[in-house]
Amino acid sequence: MARSLRNGDFDLVLAIQSPSSPERWYRVLLDRSRTLTGETLLSCDCVGWLQDARNAAARRALAAGHSDTGLRVPRGCKHTDVATTLLGTASGGAMPRYRTDHPYVGATRTRWAPLRDFVPEDGWGIQEARITVSAEPYHLVLLQATGTTGITATAAIAFAAGHPATLGSRAAPVADWGGYTIAASFCRQAGVPLVGEPPLHFAETLPGRGAPRRAPLQPGTSTREILAIGDQRDLGDGLTPTQRAENTLRLFLGPQHALLEHQGFLDVSSGLYPGRVYRIRRDPHRRYEQRVRVFEQGIYVRDLCIVRAQSVPEADHYLTLFFGLVADEQRILSVVQRGNIFGAHSDGHQRETVPAMWQPRDGQINTAA
Ligand SMILES: [Zn+2]
């Protein structure tokens, strides 16, 4: 059962810190593919969930032959219990708003370039609470963002209160887990679910590190290693902002990042114009932004020139464009209209050999010819 979760359709509901190791985080995931059938299937990284400890007694009784209980308690752990409570409460309700100079908000905007454009400065909410998880005190942070289109997403990050922490030291994990949760939720709400498991651990995306799957989270891999706070460029992690941006892109695209590497572009189907596909290309040398090629009903018709803001790493620009065309296509197009629309092959004669297939979004009616 645990293994099959890998290819599910997931939301990260809660990231919760281990009380014994501050660098260890458990992810509680909601399998969306099961919610359609009315089931709530939550999974966790912890040993209790993986070994299905709650059902161990029932299993032993069954094996010993003096039990007829085919009846099983649903698989769960103390962390999925917290997540169930969170899902049951109105975490979608409005929260006190915070400006972008709050460390949590600032760090999240730094880490996740697409959220800088998509969430207005007054679109961030934070709520913090003391909670108890199996007698262990926790500091719960709820980070909420409301996008330019009015949609809202909330992330939950729980810090074990036994570890020394400050507002500043909590900012990096809030930014990592919270930003991922929010950006992924916005894509889902726009009808483009990112299929695949949320990152096992943020540091696993560092080049040259083996990525353990479903193994216990590796201690000693700090989220700070890949996070730039504010304008601080040297974080002592040996990474440049460009490398960090690449990590964020790889993290967010998941399996699609390999596809991008392989074919040099990703397609985004329009949510506004059935039949239209945006082909977002990437400079193999990662120096210059390339024009977006637009296909209508499978035919390559024009280019859109969307210029990168100064000093933004190319990978951040790519992610912002990808995310923008998914989550707020209207705004991206309005920017382009002020800028440049060109004929096909305006920035190169590279031929298109891969068909651009328009896919309706979740909930979108297929009216393409
Ligand atoms: Zn657990």
Average pLDDT for 324-341? 89
Q: How far is the CA of 215 from the centre of ligand 1 (A)?
A: 14
CA distances from 298 to 95, 146, 271, 293, 327 (A): 44, 34, 16, 11, 22
**Token pair recorded at residue 351:** 């031929």
d(CA 174, CA 19): 17
Residue 206 has pLDDT above 60, yes or no: no
Residue 167 has pLDDT above 60, yes or no: yes
Phi then psi for 42, rounded to 5 degrees? -105, 140
Residue 140 has pLDDT above 90, yes or no: yes
Tell which wins on pLDDT, 63 or 228.
63
**CA angle at residue 221 from 215 to 226, to 5 degrees?**
120
d(CA 178, CA 157): 7
Residue 204 has pLDDT above 60, yes or no: no
> Over the stretch 69-106, which tens digit does the pLDDT of each residue have?
555 677 889 999 999 988 877 555 668 888 778 999 99
User: Regarding beta strands 42-43 and 25-31, do their DSSP bridges make them parallel or antiparallel, or are they unpaired?
Assistant: antiparallel
Q: How far is the CA of 18 from the centre of ligand 1 (A)?
A: 10
Q: How far is the CA of 82 from the centre of ligand 1 (A)?
A: 9
- Sign of the Cα torsion 357, 360, 366, 367 reads negative
Counting residues of the chain whose pLDDT is more than 70, the rounded percentage is 78
Q: Name beta bridge partners: 12.
A: 29
Average pLDDT, the chain: 81
Q: How far is the CA of 164 from the centre of ligand 1 (A)?
A: 22
Would you call 169 helix, strand, or coil by DSSP? helix
Residue 137 has pLDDT above 90, yes or no: yes
In this prediction, residue 251 carries a pLDDT of 82
Q: How far is the CA of 55 from the centre of ligand 1 (A)?
A: 14
Neighbouring residues of 233: CB distance < 8 A, sequence distance ≥ 6: 240, 241
Q: Which region among 260-269, 321-330, 336-345 has the lowest average model confidence (pLDDT)?
A: 336-345
| Cβ atoms of residues 290 and 266 within 8 Å | no
In this prediction, residue 235 carries a pLDDT of 43
Q: Which region among 19-33, 81-95, 128-142, 242-256 has the lowest average model confidence (pLDDT)?
A: 81-95
Q: Which one of 17-31, 32-46, 268-282, 340-354 scores highest in mean pLDDT?
A: 268-282
Q: How far is the CA of 83 from the centre of ligand 1 (A)?
A: 10
Average pLDDT for 137-163? 95
Q: How far is the CA of 47 from the centre of ligand 1 (A)?
A: 7
Q: In what order do the strands lie in the sheet with 10-17?
A: 42-43, 25-31, 10-17, 152-160, 136-146, 124-133, 97-98
Q: Which one of 200-204, 215-219, 356-360 scores highest in mean pLDDT?
A: 356-360
In this prediction, residue 98 carries a pLDDT of 81
How many residues can be counted in the chain? 369
In this prediction, residue 194 carries a pLDDT of 75
**Token pair recorded at residue 356:** 């651009």
pTM: 0.83
Residue 174 has pLDDT above 60, yes or no: yes
Q: How far is the CA of 320 from the centre of ligand 1 (A)?
A: 33
CA 294 centroid distance within chain:
26
d(CA 17, CA 157): 8
What number of helices (H) and strands (E) belong to the chain? Answer: 12, 12
Average pLDDT for 19-48? 80
Q: How far is the CA of 52 from the centre of ligand 1 (A)?
A: 10
Burial of 196 (0-12, 13-18, 19+ CB in 10 A): middle
Q: How far is the CA of 364 from the centre of ligand 1 (A)?
A: 36
What is the residue whose two structure tokens read 């967010």? 252
Residue 215 has pLDDT above 80, yes or no: no
| Cβ atoms of residues 22 and 70 within 8 Å | no
In this prediction, residue 36 carries a pLDDT of 58
Side-chain half-sphere CA neighbours of 151 within 13 A: 16
In this prediction, residue 168 carries a pLDDT of 85
**Token pair recorded at residue 305:** 């020139």
> Over the stretch 96-131, which tens digit does the pLDDT of each residue have?
888 778 999 998 988 888 999 899 999 999 999 999
What protein residues have CB closer than 5 angstroms to ion ligand 1? 44, 46, 49, 77, 79
| Cβ atoms of residues 174 and 157 within 8 Å | yes
Q: How far is the CA of 26 from the centre of ligand 1 (A)?
A: 7
